[in-house]
Structure 1
Amino acid sequence: MKQRKQISAINTGNKLAMEPAPDTSDLAERESRWNYALVGSGLGVWDHNNLTGTKYYSNTWKEIRGMAPHEQADGDYEEWLKLLHPDDRDFVIMAIERQIAGDPDFHVFEYRERHKDGRWVWIECRGACVEWDESGAPVRIVGTDTDITARKQSEEMLEHLSRRLDLALDISRIGVFEADLNAGTVEWDDRLLAMYGLEGTPRVKLSEAWEQALHPDDRERTLKNLEASLEKDRGLLQEFRIIRGDGAERVIRARSAFFLDAEGKRKLIGANWDVTEEVSLRNDLQKAKDLAEARNRELEAARENIEHLALHDFLTELPNRRYLDRILDERSAGCRESGLTLAILHIDLDRFKQINDTLGHRAGDAMLKHAARVLKDCVRSSDFVARIGGDEFVVLCTIDSSPKKLSNMAARIIRELSKPVRYEGHDCRFGASIGIAAESGKDLDAKQLLLNADIALYRAKAAGRNRHEFFSKDARRTIIAAKRLSDEMLQGLERNEFIPFYQLQFHAHTLEVAGVETLARWRHPEHGLLTPGHFLTIAEDLDVVSAIDGLILERGLADRAAWAREGFVTPKLSVNVSSRRLGDPGLGKKLRALKIEPGILSFELLESISLDDCDDAVLSNLRQLRKLGIDIEIDDFGTGHASIVSLLKLSPRTLKIDRELIRMLPQSAEQRKLVRSIIDIGRSLNILVTAEGVESMDHVRILGDLGCDMLQGYALARPMPAMQIPAFVRNAGWRRHDADAYALQSVLRQQIKSNRSK
């Protein structure tokens, strides 16, 4: 209570007696000196005298609070308390009380006060009681206020930075150490101790603890690096493994640097951080990277393999047509720029199909591989060799000289490919036909050049095979015409433009109708009626001969039935059959579907079909023909292909003597002997003999005398459409007077021979 009264007395300004004043001049000097000192120190002086009831505030004190020097400070305690920061107000009241009471802990205290411009300033208050009354109550308190706002801001900033540093170190799990190299001591912070698992353990010598914690496999390297760093006073960054106190293995990254402290002592400061997870992640990433790179290499190898497969023939490993097209475009562009000549050799293997058909596809594959090797050996390293399908190859060359080199190259290829190849005990022989086309200049067209080589190849094959031909414009025109005719032929099959014509056959002695041969004709919308000589080769190339044969057979059977309805029944209908149709595995099924009456149909086989080398399919079809009651005739007999043995094996019903042997009968005794020999052979084998090409009555007479069985030719009847056959037979136009007389003469001769034999 007494103290409160004393404070109240101070605030109410009660005046107390003062000591006698010192000398005025001395006082002024002393006051001036202290004023200068106080102003220079930035201290704001305040003096509360309860005896005199006065309160003094220096200009610096006012300046701290934003007051002007002339501005009065009334010293109202309650109003002053309102200027204090709300968080500091209770503390200040208590601090003042303790300061007045002489508590040394509150001789100096800090608080915040509102500046005149509205901001808060930090003030450091230093004060003490300097006078007391006789009862011991404080009556005068003097002190200084200092603006410590800048210091508090610096402290706050330092504290903030310290907090951030501690947080960063905690987050990054960095432990810090400092070593005094002169004293040989080292200090670790708590984070570093925890990192090594040493927290809470009895005090140890940290340098020894660190060495002992090093992983045995990393210890020598790590200590050696540290030693080198210490010798050269050079900072160090290294990574090593440790075994913690709890036995866990961790990976530590350490960085250190040298410095001299204020006393000149040589020190080393450093940081360690646990990078186990980082290293594990890095190792995992490295493994993933290695795996990805390995997979990429595998994918690249797979891509290259796929691209190789896409651009190469799987059998011969040669580039394929797709690769050829790419290289063809590249080299043609290069030749257009350089002026060089681009040449193409289009190669087709001759007699390759026979090897495939007789020895099997494995033999054919072996021959294709052999051909690929031969081609690679026969060309230059800069030439491009490709297999474009089947037994076809292409060689692409760039030349700057005459075509002679191309001709030599083609001849060398043909010569090497013609050599026999041994395969499983067989000597395989095949050859090659080559078409060559070359072009240069800015108008060079690669695709047209390839087509020109194909045209030249066609010429080489048509000229007898196993040879080479150069492209010419005449050949191109021929090929274009043939191509057009091929297209028209396919259209003609769709439009039923192929029709049968018929040529009557006659008994040689009576000139009675013995049968009808069915002949194919093409009723061309532009060129008129075409015989097989105009279209057979193209039909063979298109592989439609069998289709034409089948169509003519069906039409022939239908026409025969129509003739029968008009009263003409032909004893026999003969049709031609091609070698391809004879080798058709489905021929028997197709013939059975036609429900052919046995004995009315005969198939004419060209003697050019090699009867001695018939494969199993041909022999099977021949057996089925006999079962169906279809006779077999050998057409064009006498050209030297059929042997007596093959005739015995085949047992044909009829032989047809080739027209070339018949043509010169009236003029050649030798031809008559030859024909008589053929007739005798037929009679001895119980085979009928028909003569083709009977062009005159001399032929009729001579062949009758020679004992020929049947005749066919223009002298008796020309080929004619189906509708004309019945009328022609009814009119018997072939029975002219000389023909009748000859027929009677032939009958008499036969009767005389018969009587003599009796």
Structure 2
Amino acid sequence: MEGLHTALTPEKRERAPVKQSHPPKAAADVNRDEQAVDGVASYTDDSDITERESRWNYALVGSGLGVWDHNYRLDKKFYSQTWKSIRGMAPDEEADGDYEAWLQLVHPDDRDFVVNAIERQNAGDPDYHIFEYRERHKDGHWVWIECRGAPVEWDENGVAQRVVGTDTDITGRKETAEMLAQLSRRLDLALQISDIGVFEADIDHGTVEWDDRLIAIYGLEDADRFSAADAWLSTVHPDDRDRVSETVERNVNNETGFHQEFRIIRGDGAERIIRARSAFFIDGNGCRKLIGANWDVTEEVALRNDLRRAKDLAEARNRELEAAKESIEHLAFHDYLTGLPNRRYLDKMLEGRSAHCREEGLALAILHIDLDRFKQINDTLGHRAGDHMLKHAAKVLRDSIRATDFVARIGGDEFVVLCIVDTPSKKIATVAERIIRELRKPIKYEGHDCRFGASIGIAIDSGPKLDEKQLLLNADIALYRAKGSGRNRYEFFSNAARRTILTAKRLADEILIGLERSEFVPFYQPQFDARTLDIAGIETLARWQHPEHGLLAPDRFLDIAEDLDVVSTIDALILEQAIADRKAWIREGFAIPRISVNVSGRRLSDPQLGKKLRSLKIEPGTVSFELLESISLDDCDEAVSANLKKLKKLGIDIEVDDFGTGHASIVSLLRLSPKTLKIDRELIRHLPQSAEQRKLVRSIIEIGRSLNILVTAEGVETADHVRILQELGCDMLQGYALARPMSGLKFPAFIRGESWRQPEGEARALQTDLRRSVGRPTSKTASR
């Protein structure tokens, strides 16, 4: 490319006259120069000329230089074979020297530069005798070329008439330079990330060169970048100085690398701990040098010391515990509260009795017992009441089994009974029935009648393959089935039950994992003003974004969540997210009057509920709690009643859900004074077909109006539902006819689109008819 890129057409040279950097020489001077090369007096001998020409040719070929010669006076252009080889051309391939065609081969990013460089080179500018650029090789890749050239002949006006030069392929050099640059960047980044400072010490001249990081580590000024070795040693803590100096001197004398830790006094007076590694080498000038890295390990050393002290303390405590264990070993097999054997004792007895049954051909039965409603008693009446119940349960179990049977408390409110029998099922069923019957009897505690019961899982096995661990697991599976079937009952283990229980247990594990991974998310279903169809609120619904099964409704997980006692946790998570979403929507300009969330009976019994809600700083009047149908409003205990009062003080409204099919009576409405009651969807479904249903719904609406309670209809799924409920005077509507539940991300778009108001929408048509038929709103509706 050299020749081509330096070739300016005569027209361009005339348009761009070049300043003469070297004045043209007279012919006699040129001849004298030609005769004086290499000290030879003249070139009169043809053989000598041939020999010299051959020598220069071989030298050029061997050096990889591609020669080009542009003689504008004779209109001749010459390109050597090496020049062609650099570009992938064959030795006999013609290079026509077309400037514009060649220019298209130059890399687009270099093109403007090359045009300017050629003009300056042709003008004899010494700054452009050498320049670099990229040119496309014949096989398509880019080749880096170093172009060297200069004018050698000028006309009488100082315009270059002949430009001669060489091109060199420097692609390898460029790749090597880029590789070195990348390595340098990586090294610098690694040092920067690890906060390591680097130095290089000239031992023979007594100087040390510091990098910026090392200066920062030592707290020195930038002027100390090049300092004497003694200046560095002066920063070392006096108590470490001799040791450090001796280490450096010994390893320098041995010409070996080393590493060590020492303290320094920073320039700002702070004491820090430095870890240093150094390597010895001799440079190209024979000077002895050390190169090394330092980094601050003060915090690391402090942590190491803390861990060592903690380890020593732990070992001392372990020795104390071992000594204590030896002295109280005889008490380690019993539960301190009930006096029953504990889990450790159970494991020992289970192993022994299993071996006995295998040897004698007897059957071993395991009864796994779990107390029902124990937690509610413990939470509402306190731990002392719970302890009293556990002691009573232990006495009942002792009195209900034979002297040869074994009973243990294995934790919390769980017990295990071991029985060796010959005709198992009937006898064991009798024992289980007796235990359940006795535990269901009320217990007096400080004036309270405490009632609880028991669920029992039973597993029986015999024969030489009896596996006590599997048998205990089977009893646990049977217990799970008993609790899931209604409690206060017993269940025998079966393989079918095992498969069912394992599936439920797997789902239970997934629920707990889902809570850790925040897989439970709120979905929102808008509630609409029946008169205007404006959004009056939203009901927040819990959904489980299961990683395998997709979006799950509560009917897929609520029962098991109840068993796990995590419904309150799910309620709390949904409430927090709903509050956050509402604030976000308000910031976006969407006015959401209020949100309603479901609340379980167990959460209403939580004595810490008021404290937890206060921490959320809920704006009064913006949140409603929907009391689920499982909550009996006519039979609220003290904890529930107290929490309902706290909710009102916090400005949280109460809504009665599923009115008409749940547990709420008129008396409970008078006592509770909820903000809203929701008519169950079962009463709404047949409104268009049933006059009796319309009368019933009208009565409920009138009851709500008389008690100043808003009435919301659920299950509004058709245009007829909307029309009839508007005619009956219902306050708010909720159902698929207007909007389905949606995620928080979709809610803003739903509000913007106002699809429920579109002309083609059924709700919009109903709204238009209503506005024609109603002159103005009633005073009660207007006041809301």
With normalisation by structure 1, the TM-score equals: 0.56
Which residue number in structure 1 is paired with residue 722 of structure 2? 700
**Stretch moving more, 396-405 or 698-707:** 698-707
Tell me the residue number matched to 1:510. 532
Inter-partner Cα distance in structure 2 for 1:507 and 1:303? 70
Secondary structure of residue in 2 paired with 1:676: helix
State the alpha-carbon separation in 1 of the partners of residues 486 and 735 from structure 2: 31
| 2:770 is the alignment partner of 1:739 | no
* AA in 2 matched with 1:417: L
TM-aligned CA distance change 1:748 to 1:408, over 3 Å: farther
2:555 maps to what in 1?
A: 533
Name the aligned partner's letter for residue 668 of structure 2: S
Tell whether 2:737 aligns with 1:715.
yes
1:373 to partner: Cα distance: 2.9
User: CA, structure 1 residues 428+500, in 2 after alignment: closer, same or farther (shift >3 Å)?
Assistant: closer
Corresponding residue for residue 393 of structure 1: 415
| Alignment partner of 1:418 out of 436, 440, 443 | 440
| Residue in structure 2 matching 1:580, options 579, 585, 602 | 602
1:478 pairs with one of 484, 493, 500: 500
Match of 1:440 among 456, 462, 467: 462
Task: Look up the SS of the partner of 2:577 in the other structure.
Answer: helix
Q: Which moved more, 1:388-397 or 1:447-456?
A: 388-397
1:346 aligned to 2:368?
Answer: yes
Cα distance in 2 for residues equivalent to 1:452 and 1:437: 6
In structure 1, what is the Cα distance between the partners aligned to 2:454 and 2:649? 41
The residue matched to 1:385 in structure 2 has which SS? strand
Which deviates more, 302-311 or 657-666? 302-311
Change (3 A) 1:354 1:559: closer
Offset at 1:632?
1.8
Is 1:663 the counterpart of 2:665? The answer is no
Partner of 1:608: 630
What displacement does 1:528 show? 0.8
Offset at 1:546? Answer: 2.6
Residue of structure 1 aligned with 2:676, choices 642, 654, 670: 654
CA gap of 1:304–1:562, structure 2 versus 1, over 3 A, is: closer
Distance in 1 (CA, whole Å) between partners of 2:447 and 2:614 is 41
Go from structure 1 to structure 2 and tell me whether the alpha carbon gap of 1:348 and 1:667 turns closer, same or farther (over 3 Å shift).
Answer: farther
Give the equivalent residue in structure 1 for 2:425: 403
| Aligned equivalent of 1:453 | 475
AA at the equivalent of 1:396: L
Distance in 1 between the 2:602 and 2:445 partners?
27
Q: What code does the residue aligned with 1:663 have?
A: R
Match of 1:297 in 2: none
Deviates most, 610-619 or 686-695: 610-619
SS of residue paired to 1:522 = strand
Q: Any idea what SS the aligned residue of 1:516 has? A: strand
Distance, in Å, in 2 between the alignment partners of 1:392 and 1:737 is: 58
Correspondence for 1:630: 652
**Cα 1:668–1:382 shift into 2, 3 Å:** farther
Aligned to 1:376: 398
Work out the CA distance in 1 between the residues paired with 2:355 and 2:687: 65
1:728 aligns with 2:750: yes
Give the letter for the 1:643 counterpart.
S
- Do structure 1's residue 591 and structure 2's residue 613 form an aligned pair? yes
CA RMSD, Structure 1 to Structure 2 (Å): 2.8
**Residues 357 and 499 from structure 1, CA distance in 2 versus in 1: closer, same or farther, beyond 3 angstroms?**
closer
Higher-Rg member (1/2): 1
Deviation at 1:668, TM superposition (A): 3.6
User: Structure 2 stretches of 5 or more lacking a match?
Assistant: 1-323, 780-784
Structure 2 letter corresponding to 1:742: L
* 1:611 counterpart SS class: coil
Matched letter for residue 508 of structure 1: A
Q: Summarize deviations over 1:112-139 as a string: whole Å, max 9, x none.
A: xxxxxxxxxxxxxxxxxxxxxxxxxxxx
CA pair 304-383 structure 1, distance change in 2 beyond 3 A? farther
Q: Deviations over 1:573-595 (max 9, x none)?
A: 22222333334444444434433
- Counterparts of 1:614 and 1:513 in 2: how far apart (Å)? 33
Matched, 1:691 2:713: yes
Q: SS of 1:632's equivalent?
A: strand
**Displacement of 1:449 after TM fit?**
1.1
**CA separation in 1, counterparts of 2:605 and 2:703?**
28
Shifted more, 353-362 versus 706-715: the winner is 353-362
1:476 CA displacement: 1.9
Is the CA contact 2:424–2:460 (under 8 Å) kept in the aligned structure 1?
Answer: no
Distance 1:377 1:360, change over 3 A: same
Kept after mapping to 1: 8 A contact 2:541/2:597: yes
What is the aligned partner in structure 2 of residue 110 from structure 1? none
The aligned length equals 454
Q: Does 1:323 align with 2:345?
A: yes
Q: Distance in 2 between matches of 1:582 and 1:742?
A: 40
SS of residue paired to 1:666: coil
Q: Which amino acid aligns with 1:511?
A: L
Distance 1:720 1:470 in 2: 44
Provide Cα deviations, 1:7-50, integer angstroms capped at 9, x if missing partner: xxxxxxxxxxxxxxxxxxxxxxxxxxxxxxxxxxxxxxxxxxxx
Q: 1:498 aligns with which of 494, 499, 520?
A: 520
Partner SS, residue 586 of structure 2: helix
Q: Which whole-Å deviations, capped at 9, do the CAs of 1:263-314 have from their partners, x for residues lacking one?
A: xxxxxxxxxxxxxxxxxxxxxxxxxxxxxxxxxxxxxxx9999556322233
Secondary structure of the equivalent of 1:327?
helix
Classify the secondary structure of the residue corresponding to 2:746: helix
What pairs with 1:90-105 in structure 2 (closer than 5 Å)?
Answer: none
What's the offset of the Cα at 1:398? 1.1
User: Aligned equivalents of 1:421 and 1:580: distance in 2?
Assistant: 22
Counterpart amino acid of 1:386? A
- Cα distance change of structure 1 residues 446 and 728 upon mapping to structure 2, 3 Å threshold: same
Other-structure match for 1:544: 566
| In structure 2, distance between residues paired with 1:534 and 1:632 | 26
Change (3 A) 1:679 1:535: same
The answer to whether the 8 A contact 2:610-2:646 is kept is: yes
2:562 aligns to what SS in structure 1?
helix
Could you say if the C-alpha distance between residues 373 and 630 of structure 1 is closer, same or farther in structure 2, counting changes exceeding 3 Å?
closer
Going from structure 1 to structure 2, the CA distance change for 1:657 and 1:417 (only over 3 Å counts) comes to: same
Q: Residue 404 of structure 2: SS of its match in structure 1?
A: coil
Between stretches 667-676 and 394-403, larger displacement belongs to: 667-676
Distance in 1, matches of 2:373 and 2:614, equals 33
Q: Quick one: distance in 1 between partners of 2:735 and 2:333?
A: 59
Secondary structure of the equivalent of 1:311? coil
Counterpart-to-counterpart distance in 2, 1:458 and 1:634: 32
Amino acid at match of 2:564: L
The residue correspondences of 1:49-448 to structure 2 (distance < 5 A) are 306=328, 309-423=331-445, 425-448=447-470
Report the CA distance shift for 1:476/1:723 in structure 2 as closer, same or farther (over 3 A). Answer: same
Q: Is 1:520 the equivalent of 2:532?
A: no
Deviation at 1:532, TM superposition (A): 1.5
Distance 1:472 1:672, change over 3 A: farther
Q: 1:489 aligns with which of 483, 506, 511?
A: 511
Q: CA deviation at 1:680?
A: 2.0
- Whether the 8 Å CA contact 2:363–2:424 is kept in 1: the answer is no
TM-score if structure 2 supplies the norm length? 0.54
SS at match of 1:734: helix
